[in-house]
Amino acid sequence: MLIVLSAHFLVAILAPFLFTRWGRATFYVLAAVPAASFIWLLTQYDAVYSPAAISPSVDIPWIPVLDTNLSFRMDELSWMMSLLVLGVGALVLAYCARYFKTDDAGLGGFGAQLLAFAGVMFGLVTADNLILLFVFWELTTVLSYLLIGYARTRIAARRAALQALMVTTFGGLAMLVGLIMVGESAGTYRISAVLAKAPELVAATGTPGTVLNIGIALILVGAVTKSALVPFHFWLPGAMAAPTPVSAYLHAAAMVKAGIYLIARLAPGFSGTEYWQLLITVLGLATMLVGGWRALRQHDLKLILAYGTVSQLGFLTVVVGLGSKEAAMAGMAMVLAHGLFKAALFLVVGIIDHQSGTRDIRELSGVFRSAPLLGVVALIGAASMAGLPPLAGFVAKESVFAAFEANARYGPAGTGIGVLVLAVMVLGSILTFAYSARFMWGGFAKKSKGMATAFKPVGALFLGAPALLSLLTVAYGLFPKAVETWIAPYSAQFPAYDHEAMHLALWHGFSLPLLLSAVVVAGGLGLFVARKRFEKLQAKLPPVIDFERGYRQSILGLDLVSIWVTGRTQRGSLFFYLAVILSTAIASVGAVLIITEQHWSDRIYFLDPGSPFQIVAGVAIVVGALAAARANRRFMAVLMVSVTGYGVALIFALQGAPDLALTQMLVETIILVAFVLAMRSLPPGLQERTAGNHKILRIILGVTFGAVMVVVAIVAMGSRIATPISLELPKMAYEGGGGLNVVNVTLVDIRAWDTFGEISVLAIAATGVASLIFVRGRGQRLARAETVPTGSIGRVAEAGSAQSTTAELAKRFTSAPGNAWLVAGRTLAPERRSIIIEVVTRLVFHSIIVLSIYLLLAGHNGTGGGFAGGLVAGLALTIRYLAGGRFELAEATRISAGTLLGVGLAAAALTGIAPLFFGGEIFQSAILTFDLPVFGHVKFVTSTVFDIGVYLVVVGLVVDVLRSLGSEIDQHEEDGIGGITLIEDDEPLEVGR
Residue ranges in 436-475 that form contacts with other proteins under rule CB under 8 A: none
By CB under 8 A, name the one of 205, 207, 573, 787 that touches other proteins: 573
Query: What residues between 553 and 572 interact with other proteins by CB under 8 A?
Result: 553, 555-557, 559-560, 563, 566-568, 570-572
| 23-42 positions binding other proteins, by CB under 8 A | none
The 8-class DSSP code of residue 25 comes to G
Residue 965 near other proteins by CB under 8 A: yes
Cβ(390)–Cβ(474) below 8 Å: yes
**Which of 637, 837, 853, 945 contacts other proteins by CB under 8 A?**
637
**Contact call for residue 6 and other proteins (CB under 8 A):** no
Q: Using the rule CB under 8 A, is 703 a contact of other proteins?
A: yes
Residue from 658, 736, 794, 915 in contact with other proteins (CB under 8 A): 658
Q: How many C-beta neighbours within 10 Å does residue 952 have?
A: 26
Judged by CB under 8 A, the stretch of 36-44, 179-187, 620-628, 904-912 that binds other proteins is 620-628
Handedness of CA 497, 503, 508, 513 (dihedral sign): positive
Does residue 670 touch other proteins according to CB under 8 A? yes
Q: Which of 743, 797, 837, 909 binds other proteins (CB under 8 A)?
A: 743
Instruction: Evaluate whether 256 touches 228 at the Cβ level (below 8 Å).
Output: yes
The answer to the question of residue 652 lying near other proteins (CB under 8 A) is yes
The answer to the question of residue 184 lying near other proteins (CB under 8 A) is no
| Per-residue binder mask for other proteins (CB under 8 A), 331-360, x = binder | -------------------x--xx--xxxx
Q: Does 625 bind other proteins (CB under 8 A)?
A: yes
Dihedral sign for Cα atoms in the order 907, 909, 913, 915: positive
Q: Does 638 bind other proteins (CB under 8 A)?
A: yes
Rounded distance, CA 329 to CA 490, Å? Answer: 8
Region of 84-92, 307-315, 664-672, 900-908 interacting with other proteins (CB under 8 A): 664-672
- Is 644 among the residues that bind other proteins (CB under 8 A)? yes
Instruction: Please tell me whether residue 96 binds other proteins under the rule CB under 8 A.
Output: no
The correct pick among 450, 656, 684, 777 for binding other proteins (CB under 8 A) is 656
Residue selected from 167, 253, 332, 969 as contacting other proteins according to rule CB under 8 A: 969
Closest separation in Å from C-beta 841 to other proteins: 23
Strands (E), 661-727: none
Q: How many Å separate Cα 436 from the centre of its chain? A: 43
CA 851 to mean position of chain CA atoms = 53
> Cα 38–41–46 angle (5° rounding)?
150
Least distance from other proteins to the Cβ atom of residue 455, Å: 13
Nearer to other proteins, 741 or 841 (CB): 741
State the Cα–Cα distance between residues 778 and 772, nearest whole angstrom: 10
Least distance (Å) from other proteins to the CB of residue 294?
A: 13
Give the interface size with other proteins as a residue count (CB under 8 A): 159
| Binding positions for other proteins, 904-963, rule CB under 8 A | 954, 957, 960-961
Q: Using the rule CB under 8 A, give the single segment among 473-481, 529-537, 750-758, 921-929 that binds other proteins.
A: 750-758
User: Residue 540 CB, nearest distance to other proteins (Å)?
Assistant: 18
CB of 80 to other proteins, least distance (A): 31
| Contact yes or no for 106/152 (Cβ under 8 A) | yes
Q: Which of 570/815 has CB closer to other proteins?
A: 570
The residue within the footprint of other proteins, chosen from 681, 792, 806, 847 (CB under 8 A), is: 681
Q: Say how many CA atoms lie within 13 Å of 825 toward its Cβ.
A: 25
97 makes contact with other proteins (CB under 8 A): no
Cis peptide before 390 (omega within 30 of 0): yes
Q: For the chain, what is the radius of gyration of the CA atoms? A: 41
698 is an interface residue for other proteins by CB under 8 A: yes
Q: Does 752 bind other proteins (CB under 8 A)?
A: no
Burial (CB count <10 Å: 0-12, 13-18, 19+), residue 159: middle
Contact stretch for other proteins (CB under 8 A) within 127-135, 526-534, 705-713, 829-837: 705-713
Q: Cis peptide before 231, with omega less than 30 degrees from 0? A: yes
Under a CB-based contact definition with an 8 Å cutoff, are residues 810 and 829 in contact? no
Nearer of residues 879 and 962 to other proteins, judged by Cβ: 962
Span 489-518, contacts to other proteins by CB under 8 A: none
3-state SS, one letter per residue, for 490-532: HHCCCCCCCCCCCCCCCCCCCCHHHHHHHHHHHHHHHHHHCHH
Q: Which is nearer to other proteins, 177 or 627 (CB)?
A: 627
Of 55, 129, 741, 971, the one binding other proteins by CB under 8 A: 741
Contact 220, 275 (CB under 8 A): yes
Find the binding residues for other proteins in span 214-273 (CB under 8 A).
Answer: 241, 243-244
Q: In this structure, what are the phi and psi dihedrals at residue 154, rounded to the nearest 5 degrees?
A: -100, 130
CB closer to other proteins, 120 vs 641? 641
SS (H, E, C) 665-719: HHHHHHHHHHHHHHCCCCCCECCCCCCCCCHHHHHHHHHHHHHHHHHHHHHHHHC
**What CA–CA distance (Å, rounded) separates 679 from 188?**
66
We find the least distance from the C-beta atom of residue 526 to other proteins, in angstroms, to be 27
For other proteins, the closer of residues 207 and 573 by Cβ is: 573
> Which range touches other proteins (CB under 8 A), out of 9-17, 106-114, 129-137, 730-738?
730-738
Coil, helix or strand at residue 381: helix
DSSP state of 365: -
Say whether residue 177 binds other proteins (CB under 8 A).
no
Q: With b meaning 16 or more CB within 10 Å and e meaning fewer, what string describes 278-309? A: ebbbebbbbbbbbbbbbbbbbebbbbbbbbbb
- Grouping H, G, I as helix, E, B as strand and the rest as coil, residue 350 is helix
Pairing of strands 936-941, 927-932: antiparallel
Say how many residues make up the chain: 993
Nearer to other proteins, 157 or 431 (CB): 157
- The pair phi, psi for residue 105, each rounded to 5°, is -70, 140
Q: Is 118 in the site for other proteins (CB under 8 A)?
A: no
Helix 76-99 and helix 255-270: axis angle, to 10°?
Answer: 170
Residues 579-618 that bind other proteins (CB under 8 A): 579, 582, 601, 603-611, 614-615, 618
Q: Classify residue 340 as exposed, middle or buried by CB count within 10 Å of its CB (0-12, 13-18, 19+).
A: buried
The conformation of residue 984, written as its DSSP 8-state character, comes to P
- Least Cβ distance, residue 855 to other proteins (angstroms): 13
Binding other proteins (rule: CB under 8 A), the pick from 45, 275, 575, 753 is 575
Q: One symbol per residue from 835 to 874: x for binding other proteins (CB under 8 A), - otherwise; what is it?
A: --------------------------xxx---x-------
Q: Under rule CB under 8 A, which residues in 353-412 are in contact with other proteins?
A: 353-354, 357-360, 362-363
Residue 144: CB minimum distance to other proteins, A? 17
DSSP assignments along 783-801, one per residue: PPGGGS-TT-BT--PPTTS
Q: What is the DSSP letter of 459?
A: P
Helix axes 658-678, 943-961, angle to 10 degrees: 20
- Residues of this chain, 753-792, that bind other proteins according to CB under 8 A: 754-755, 758, 761-762, 765-766, 768-769, 772-773
